Amino acid sequence: MDLIDLIYSNVKPGTLSPVVYEITDILQTTLSYISKALANGYDSFLVGGTYLSKNTIHFLLDFAFYYPLFMAYLWMIGALIYYFHWERKSSYQTDQVPELSSYPPVSIIIPCHNEGKDITETIEYLLHQKYPDFEIIAVNDGSTDDSLEHLIRLSHQHKQVRVINLEHNQGKAVALNTGALFSKHEFLICIDGDALLAPEATAWMMRHFLNGPRVAAVTGNPRIRTRSTLLGKIQVGEFSAIIGLIKRAQRIYGRLFTVSGVVAGFRKSALQRVGYWSNDMLTEDIDISWKLQLDHWDIRYEPNALCWILMPETYRGLWRQRLRWAQGGSEVLLRYFRKLGLWKSRRMWPVYLEYFISVFWSYTMMLTFVLWIVGYFFVDLPEELFIPSLLPSWGGVLLGMTCLLQFAISLAIDSRYEKGIARVYYWMIWYPLAYWIIAVFTTFVGLIKALLKKRNTRAIWTSPDRGIR
Amino acid sequence: MRPLIIDSPNLQSLKQKYLSTLLTFVFWVIWLYLWMPLITLIGWWTGIDLFYVHMIKLNGNQLLYQDLFFFLKGISLLGSTLAIWALYNYFRFRKVDRRTALPPVKNEQLSAFFGIEKDNLHNLQDTKYISVYFDQDGQITETRNNDALAK
């Protein structure tokens, strides 16, 4: 029976082919056809071409189906290893302050662009940090609202608060660089202007800097505040069941794809070595993570360093945000492509490969989808290009089960950080499906935008949607 | 201050409410549809003779086992690779930290990198309210100590 019929037939229990054999088969056949074609001329090359295109399409379909499934398991396994190694035995609860060997002073930097509505809350919350010595530097990046007035008032009220005013909007990277330049201390914690940093978070992050001289950055655990809508609830689950699992699994690979721009701590001497944040990248957080790790620094994830954040609750807001992430990822993929060829960059290969394959996967999905629509609704495609159905058979059951398992594991790990999180799962047991669908479209568009972007274009920010309040 | 968790569905517009309900419904249906083969199997099971014909006589069960075996092989391969990698790193780096701590950044380094005079930098690091001006490329052109203004 034909492979495609087996995988995508909808009634009989189908078989799922061993992809590895298929790849070898395709390679072997390709070679033999090329040699035959060279020997016999054009006719046999045509026959070979047909065989090859048919098998390539089959292989791509298999890949499209298996890739997200296997990635889900890789993340789950990675997260479980992380959990058993670091989290389970931790003697502290999240809301306890860990004891440190010393307490070097810290500068907390907050870049703000039109944060008038939220900045007072952010700074007043920050003042409750359970850490002996810290300054707060608010960098007003050319806001057109009343952010600066709020900041000046706060700096009068609180001796820790300082204000840097950038007279014109320069973008988040320049705001962070300027904050780092005028900060007094070696350790920086950078949070967004609308984020609330849990009082224990500074101590949790500093623990890593003190334990490891190789540690250049520590990323915290963002928790969603805006939960009124379906989108809000979904993102709560997404951050714990997908993003949290990915971060843990990547710590097991040894390298992180990115710190969370909304909450991350940095060692200034490491930043100095890599030239601080780049002002021409759309996502400065992904870029700085790559620069630091390519310079052989470590980046750690600290799930106890909670930071409460506002997220988009409109479909347009979510699309824009995800597109920005995807474009930023692709920009990094393109910029550091050459450096990755070096043997000394080998520790970055797993993360690079994961992202590269996911971009390739998005394009494969798009191709499959387009072929299916064309073949089903418009024209009779040749047999080798015809996609019988997008719906898998037994594979579907496995997909459904994978969703359940992924949530069960993330729930077991994540309930340590937030009680009652199980409630949101009712809303989103199907979400991993939607997550992959969103990834297909944003990655597809994001790569094109990254390729078409003019070099050295300054990234100036615009305020995102912050949910309904 | 607002509560830490903002959960006020009543703030949603009517359009948002309907759209959310519709999306939840559609995705639940898709998700349940994924389980069709299992539901079909239960259907067969209840008609035992049919189940026997398809699963035993026509070797349908063999195909199912093949699928599951392939998945288990894939997942085990991926999982054990990751676990072995984690163990290797753990044992290799457990007691080794080849990088000694760098000294904290000095103002000389900062002023050279950002092109700002050292004394001025030192002074501004103790200033409560600073204004900064930039050129087209994001380089600092001018800084102002506004502490006197702010008082």
pLDDT tens-digit series, residues A86-143: 888 877 777 789 999 999 999 999 999 999 999 999 999 999 999 999 999 999 999 9
* Strands, E assignment, chain B: 129-134, 140-145
Q: Categorize the per-residue pLDDT at A15 as very low, low, confident or very high, splitting at 50, 70 and 90.
A: very low
Q: Categorize the per-residue pLDDT at B132 as very low, low, confident or very high, splitting at 50, 70 and 90.
A: very high
Closest by Cα among A324, A177, A172, A355 to A255: A355
Taking 70 as the threshold, does the pLDDT of residue B125 lie above it? Answer: yes
Q: How far apart are CA A52 and CA A44, in angstroms?
A: 12
Q: What is the pLDDT of residue A2?
A: 39
Query: Under 8 Å CB-to-CB from A156, ≥6 apart: which residues?
Result: B150
Q: How many CB atoms lie within 10 A of CB B5?
A: 16
Q: What is the pLDDT of residue B33?
A: 82
Half-sphere exposure of A440 (CA within 13 A, CB side): 18
Mean pLDDT of chain A: 85
Question: What are A166's strand-pairing partners?
Answer: A141, B132
Quick check: B70 and A18 CB within 8 A?
yes
Quick check: B5 and A430 CB within 8 A?
no
**B118-143 as b/e, with b when 16 or more CB fall inside 10 Å?**
eeebeebbebbbbbbebeeebebeeb
Q: Considering only CB atoms, which chain A residues are within 8 Å of B89?
A: 254
Sheet with B129-134, edge to edge strand ranges: A196-197, A298-309, A215-224, A263-267, A187-191, A106-112, A134-141, A161-166, B129-134, B140-145
Q: Using a CB–CB cutoff of 8 Å, tell me whether A273 touches chain B.
A: yes
Q: Categorize the per-residue pLDDT at B106 as very low, low, confident or very high, splitting at 50, 70 and 90.
A: very high
Question: What is residue A56's DSSP assignment?
Answer: H
Taking 70 as the threshold, does the pLDDT of residue A7 lie above it? Answer: no
Instruction: Give the tokens for residue A468.
Output: 């309904």
Q: Categorize the per-residue pLDDT at A4 as very low, low, confident or very high, splitting at 50, 70 and 90.
A: very low
Q: What is the pLDDT of residue A17?
A: 46
Predicted model pTM = 0.83
- Helix A431-452 and helix A42-82, axial crossing angle in degrees, nearest 10: 120
Q: Which A-chain residues 145-164 have CB contacts (< 8 A) with chain B?
A: 152, 155-156, 161-164
Query: Under 8 Å CB-to-CB from A211, ≥6 apart: which residues?
Result: none
Q: Using a CB–CB cutoff of 8 Å, tell me whether A433 touches chain B.
A: yes
- Phi/psi class of residue A392: alpha, beta or left (left: φ > 0; alpha: ψ in -120 to 50)? beta
Q: Categorize the per-residue pLDDT at A390 as very low, low, confident or very high, splitting at 50, 70 and 90.
A: low
Instruction: Give the tokens for residue A106.
Output: 């810290």
Q: What is the pLDDT of residue A49?
A: 61
Q: How far apart are CA A356 and CA A364, in angstroms?
A: 12
Q: How far apart are CA A134 and CA B80, in angstroms?
A: 44
Q: Using a CB–CB cutoff of 8 Å, tell me whether B1 touches chain A.
A: yes
For residues B52-78, average pLDDT? 78
Q: Using a CB–CB cutoff of 8 Å, tell me whether B59 touches chain A.
A: no
With contact defined as beta carbons under 8 Å apart, do A396 and B36 qualify?
yes
Q: Considering only CB atoms, which chain A residues are within 8 Å of B133?
A: 167-168
Chain A: closest CA distance from residue B46 (Å): 16
Q: Using a CB–CB cutoff of 8 Å, tell me whether A312 touches chain B.
A: no
A427, with CB counted inside 10 A (0-12, 13-18, 19+), is: buried
Chain B: closest CA distance from residue A209 (Å): 10
Q: How far apart are CA A207 and CA A86, in angstroms?
A: 14
Q: What is the pLDDT of residue B54?
A: 66
Q: What does chain A come to in residues?
A: 469
Taking 50 as the threshold, does the pLDDT of residue A1 lie above it? Answer: no
Candidate from A27-36, A116-125, A141-150 with smallest mean pLDDT: A27-36
Candidate from A30-34, A276-280, A452-456 with smallest mean pLDDT: A30-34
CA B16 to chain centroid, in Å, comes to 26
